[in-house]
Structure 1
Amino acid sequence: MKAHVNGTVIAEAPQEELIQIEGNWYFPPSSVKSELLEKSPTPYHCPWKGDTQYFTVVVDGQKLQDRAWSYPTPIPTSFDRVGKDYSNYVAFWKEVSVSE
């Protein structure tokens, strides 16, 4: 699976290494090109997953605000619901396409 913007791959890993949560694919931290992400100050708290870290995706000088996010320290009880520890896994949306 790949997360990409206009042909630039931001993350890539076999599907069996990804986690699907609420319809979004979460990529393992080691599969993400962190140099294409900038931490965003946008706050969000999910009642069952915890505090979110948003990222701005930067590709070819284009900044896509809050198009990626992760849960650096998820609420431990959420691991049972998800099936495994997904700390720092990264998900994408809108202009960032995820495909096989």
Structure 2
Amino acid sequence: MVEARWNGTLIASSDDTVVVEGNHYFPADAVNAALLRPSATTTVCPWKGTAHYHSLNVDGAENRDAAWYYPDPKPKAEAIRDRIAFWKGVQVG
């Protein structure tokens, strides 16, 4: 089972992650959506497409743009559609 935690709180847990470039992409339904806040941030990856972000909010603490996902990935990255990955201090393992 792979888990994502930030500030001691479980953010996501699944035995069905997809690893791309060293990042675990969790199924969206394995992530506690109550801890996610929408972000206007986007970035572009040449082979995955446009990433969109969420900030985490745990007990009043915010971790800005700590989660990302590809709502419409390019064909080579189709395996990460409907999945969310984490960084910025989120412990995944």
Q: Is TM > 0.5 for Structure 1 vs Structure 2?
A: yes
Alignment of 1:9-88 (within 5 A): 9-14=10-15, 17-79=16-78, 85-88=79-82
How much identity, in percent, do the aligned residues show?
A: 42
Instruction: Give the residue type in structure 1 aligned to 2:90.
Output: V
- What one-letter code is carried by the residue in structure 2 that aligns with 1:93? W
Q: Map residues 2-13 of structure 1 onto 2, 5 A cutoff.
A: 2-13=3-14
* Alpha-carbon distance between aligned partners in 2 of 1:90 and 1:48, rounded to the nearest angstrom: 17
- 1:41-74 Cα offsets, whole Å, 9 max, x none, are 1121111111111110111100100111000110
CA root-mean-square deviation = 1.1
Distance across 2 between alignment mates of 1:95 and 1:78? 24
1:98 corresponds to: 92
Equivalent AA in structure 1 for residue 71 of structure 2: P
Instruction: Tell me how far apart the structure 2 counterparts of residues 43 and 29 of structure 1 sit (CA, whole Å).
Output: 18
Name the structure where strand makes up a greater proportion of residues: 2
Greater alpha carbon shift after TM alignment, 2-11 vs 70-79 = 70-79
Equivalent position amino acid for 2:42 in 1: P
1:21, distance to aligned residue in structure 2 (A): 0.5
Structure 2 gaps of 5+ residues are: none
Q: Distance in 1 between matches of 2:26 and 2:38?
A: 17
